[in-house]
Structure formats: C-alpha cells, structure tokens
A and B are shown apart, each in its own frame.
Chain A
C-alpha cells in the first residue's frame, strides 16, 4: 500500500495539500542521491527547490527571525554537501536533510547564547506575519506556549502540526520512535488545551 504523505503550503491564506506516494518519489530520490554524491550542484539545487520553503519555515519557527533561518538553511546545505558521501539511505534523503537542519538550528541557537545575542527582529517580516495573526484567535497563544515547551516537544509539534510531517518521518528526523513522537505530541497538545481552558475558565477532563 503506497504511503501517502501530506505536504501543506500556505498560499494566500489557503491551505493546499499535495499528496505524494513514496513510490513516486523513490526513483527520482535515488537519482538525486547519486547525483549529490557525485557533487552535482544541480542535484543540490533540485533538493533546494523541493524543500527550501519548508526548511525555511522550520528554521524560522525554531530561531525566530528570517535572517538566522536563512543562515541555518545555508549551513544545513553545506553540511549535507560535506556528509552526503556517508548517507546510507537508512532514512529518506529529505528526512536526513531535515535532521541536519534541526541540528544546524540548535547549533546556531547555542552560538547565539554564547555570544549573548538577542534575536534580530526582522521588522518588515514581523509586520507581514503579524498581519496574518488575526486569522485565528489561538495563533498568538500557540506561539507563546510553543516558546515555553522543551525542545523535543516543540520540534515534534512544529514538524507534525505546522509542517505536516508524519510521525514516522519525525522519528527519522529526531531519531525517536514513532510511538514516542505520538506521545510527545499528545502531551504538548494536552498542555496547550489545559492552558486555553484555564484562560477561558473552562474545566477540562
């Protein structure tokens, strides 16, 4: 049975989904891996074209500003280039790339902490993003709550709920079990649900 994976793209406030089967991807992906291993920059460009939008979004949600997010994506591609020779296809190329991206984001966060830098607020982008915050009343609460979560819970929530990865893919990206991903997501959402219920004076289960 082919695995259906949902990719979500935000275009003009509407969500569109593009179902893809892993079988359709596997041959082109194999070719891409081989080309990347040969150092073919067009193959890397293909990887960029396919994944950069999602990678930038993941990085922005982890790092808080577009400049750092773009730096993290650039660093991730450098690391992919350096270590592609050791890629053994135990996971898909894309989940491996996202794992490298998440690590690059955390390395950048640590570097920033060491230098005691505060994240540079990208004011143009902030205005652009804030304009859409009125789209859903829970969005601001969600952003505040996510900032308080531990890294693993935040990563699972972002990858599943925001970016549409499956738990299996999240397992490969974060090197955790699929069941663990589901549990972590459940706890994160339950915590958020309680917070919202408390704020509105509603008694939960």
Chain B
C-alpha cells in the first residue's frame, strides 16, 4: 500500500497495527507526519501516568463488612412472588390490565384482518403504485431495524412488567408481519394486504419508540 500523508488520519482512526507500521516508516521521511505521530504517541505515554494507585488498608474490611451485612438481610421472597409483587400496587395492576386488554385487542385485530375481505379482493395496485408502496415499506424496515438495534439490550433484559409486555407485543407483531408477507408473496398487487402490512410496520415502529421512552423513564 502506497502511504500518503492524507491517509494518516484514517489509519489513526482505525488503529490498524500494520498500517500504523507503514505510517511510522513514512514518518521517517516526512517531518509533518512525524510530528503528528510523535505527539499522538506522547499523549498515550502521558495518559499512562494518570493511572493512580494508593494504599487502602481499610477498604476491603469495609467492603467485607457491607457484604456480610447484606448476606444477613432477611431472605428475599421466592421468585414467583417477586414477579407478581407489582400486583400489590393497584396502579401498576390497573396499568397491567389495561396493557393486556390493548394487547389482546390489537392481536385480535391483526390476526382477524390478515386475510383480505372478499369485497376487496378485486382492488389491485398499478405497477407505479406498487413501487411507491414498496419504497414506503423499505423506509419502515430501515427505521425499524435502527430502532430495534437501539432497544435490543432493554428488550432482552426486560427489567419491568411493562417492558416484558412490550417484548411480547413485539413478538406478536413479528408473527403478524411474517404472515402478512407470506400472503403478499402470492398477492403482490393486493392493495388491502399492502396497506395491512404498512399498518403493522407503523405499529412496530410506534412500539419500539414506546420501549425507548419506557427505558428513559426507568433510568430517570
């Protein structure tokens, strides 16, 4: 690889060791790159001196005492009781029931509307309209993929009953998407199926945004 001065920045960003060696060789004959590399390395050397160490003879005894006290706390309730502990809080119970009802209604709506109604079987899209719809679907898919990456850790951990509910809702939506897509494969121009799929994508996007908001509420 022929090294040029303008490559130095991207090599320092990637921190590829082979390319850094090539940069060092180039720097032997280039004063500007040499100065930049030298400073870059000096920063690393100076940084090591920020590592601090000091003797703390009483720190482990304090930690040991705290852990011992913690271990002697009254035994926690069994896991299944902890899972339903929120039931003691009527507001959480009401919110949980409301969410279950919404989920149930939403699932029923999605599943019962997957097949196109008989009177709408005749509605077909033109090539131009299909192309527009497919662009809209692709935009939703990109947004959903981006949001899914953001919420993946939260959904995986699901540290509250509401997040568990959202996780289950997302799973149901994915099932609905898969079923709708399977139908569309043999009915690409069916307007009803296409609008259903867009509606489900909107629902998934909105749910992912709700997970993000819930995550922020939990952090605060």
Contact = CB atoms under 8 A, between A and B. Distances in A.
Contacts of A139: 46, 49-50
Interface residues on B, range: 35 or more
Nearest to A157: B47
Interface stretch (A26-34, A112-120, A190-198): A190-198
B50 A73 contact: no
Given A41-B64, A74-B62, A192-B43, A56 B36 contact: no
Interface string B129-158: 000000000000000000000000100000
A82 B36 CA distance: 47
Contacts of B81: none
B53 A56 contact: yes
A175 B51 contact: no
A156 B153 CA distance: 20
A162 B42 CA distance: 13
Contacts, number: 123
B67 A186 contact: no
A186 B63 CA distance: 37
A77 B67 contact: yes
A189 B40 contact: yes
Contact of B48 (A10, A81, A175): A10
B14 interface: yes
Contacts of A162: 47-48, 50-51
Contacts of A167: 15
Contacts of B53: 9-10, 53, 56-57
A182 B47 contact: no
Interface stretch (B4-12, B104-112, B199-207): B4-12
A10 B49 contact: yes
Nearest to A193: B39
B52 A52 contact: no
A138 B50 contact: no
B20 to A, nearest CB: 13
A79 B39 CA distance: 40
Given A9-B53, A41-B71, A139-B46, 20 more contacts: A8-B48, A8-B51, A9-B51, A77-B63, A77-B66, A77-B67, A78-B63, A78-B70, A82-B70, A138-B43, A161-B48, A162-B47, A182-B14, A182-B15, A186-B15, A189-B12, A189-B43, A190-B12, A193-B39, A205-B9
6 contacts: A10-B52, A41-B71, A57-B52, A81-B70, A182-B14, A192-B43
Interface of B: 5, 8-9, 12-15, 32, 35-36, 39-40, 42-54, 56, 59-60, 62-64, 66-68, 70-71, 153
